[in-house]
Amino acid sequence: MSDPTELLQTVLDALPEGIACADQEGLVRFWNRAAEAITGHTGSDLVGRPIPAVLDILIVGGVRRWVELTGSDPTPRESLIQVRHRLGHQLPILVRVLALENNFAGRIGNAVVFHPAENLDALPHRECGTGPQIETTESELQDRLEMEYADFLQSGVPFGLLWIFVDQAERLRKTHGCRACEAMVDKLEHTLMQGLRPTEQMGHWGEDQFLVLSHERTSETLASHAQVLTGLARTTDFRWWGDRISLTVSIGAAQADAHEPLPDLLERAQAAMLASFHAGGNHSTLHPRRQACSPS
């Protein structure tokens, strides 16, 4: 009879995703062949090492960045990080952390599942992990925004904003009341979630507005994504007391530039959103990157 441990290792080695396992003491105990191919580091490089040392070797930002990603939330979700390849270059990785338990629900370690994200723009919506994340309050989204922007400045992971305004909100509030407007915003939020990338976060940004934190790789793909969400909003089937109310949104898109402060990025996204609204709504606008001043 085959050794079950050897059989399991053979199965994990055959997977296309990188798999790393650490025991309860925080030592790496398994590193599959896909993990070696993705990072350039072999099992002999990392197995037996403590997790902090491995994170400092692999992850841009090391242990600090890892703590920010995992936090205290026990729900596994996919996050975008930058990894240092053994040859020296950096590459974007989508990573998910899973708790390992025995048959008695006792914690015996952790598993990390990861794969390259070079083709992030081509990823199907809502396909990996638990899908995009909702930050329920504006303060939560503000905290996430600051963390994501700091990570962009440090590691260069592409970052952009989509500022979304609900065109019918003010009119609906006047004609049908605040409860109708709140129900409409909730319905539209659910619709927009279906079109987000797995690594994006969306939250309320004011009473009738949303902000999406995106990792589209270029301004062009960010603008295309905004157009998709604009069209998706029109499909929302919202009814109030038997009346079907058509919904549209105005979206402003802005791709981050490493030389601008975060408030300037927000200002550009808002300006693009207002341009869409003043164009009649049901529209998306990309705000161009700020041009650096040429030396005189």
Whole-number Å distance between alpha carbons of 237 and 24? 49
Do residues 163 and 251 make contact, with C-beta atoms less than 8 angstroms apart?
A: yes
Instruction: Provide the angle, in degrees to the nearest 10, between the axes of the packed helices 62-70 and 51-58.
Output: 100
Domain with CATH 3.30.70.270 in the chain: 133-287
- Domain 133-287 annotated CATH 3.30.930.10: no
Whole-number Å distance between alpha carbons of 18 and 34? 5
Ramachandran angles phi, psi of 17, nearest 5°: -90, 150
- Per DSSP, the three-state class of 278 is helix
What confidence score (pLDDT) does residue 126 get?
A: 40
Q: In what order do the strands lie in the sheet with 133-135?
A: 133-135, 201-204, 209-214, 160-166, 249-255, 283-287
Whole-number Å distance between alpha carbons of 50 and 24? 11
- Opening angle at CA 203, ends 199 and 204, nearest 5: 165
CA-based R_g, the chain, Å: 22
What Cα–Cα distance (Å) separates residue 243 from each residue in 153, 169, 176, 179, 228?
48, 15, 11, 15, 26
What confidence score (pLDDT) does residue 90 get?
A: 79
CA of residue 182 relative to chain centroid, distance: 26
What Cα–Cα distance (Å) separates residue 161 from each residue in 152, 186, 278?
12, 20, 19
Q: In sequence order, what are the residues at sequence separation of 6 or more whose Cβ sits closer than 8 angstroms to the Cβ of residue 131?
A: 193, 196, 198
Q: Which CATH architecture has domain 4-118?
A: 2-Layer Sandwich (3.30)
Domain with CATH 3.30.450.20 in the chain: 4-118
What confidence score (pLDDT) does residue 127 get?
A: 39
Whole-number Å distance between alpha carbons of 256 and 79? 19
What confidence score (pLDDT) does residue 76 get?
A: 54
What confidence score (pLDDT) does residue 276 get?
A: 96
What confidence score (pLDDT) does residue 124 get?
A: 41
Do residues 13 and 32 make contact, with C-beta atoms less than 8 angstroms apart?
A: yes
| Helix (H) or strand (E) run with residue 252 in it | strand 249-255
What confidence score (pLDDT) does residue 28 get?
A: 92
Amino acid at site 149: Y
> Average pLDDT for consecutive 10-residue bins of the chain (296 residues)?
74 86 91 89 90 86 69 60 82 84 82 75 41 66 89 85 94 88 90 84 90 90 92 88 88 92 96 96 89 42
Do residues 219 and 288 make contact, with C-beta atoms less than 8 angstroms apart?
A: yes
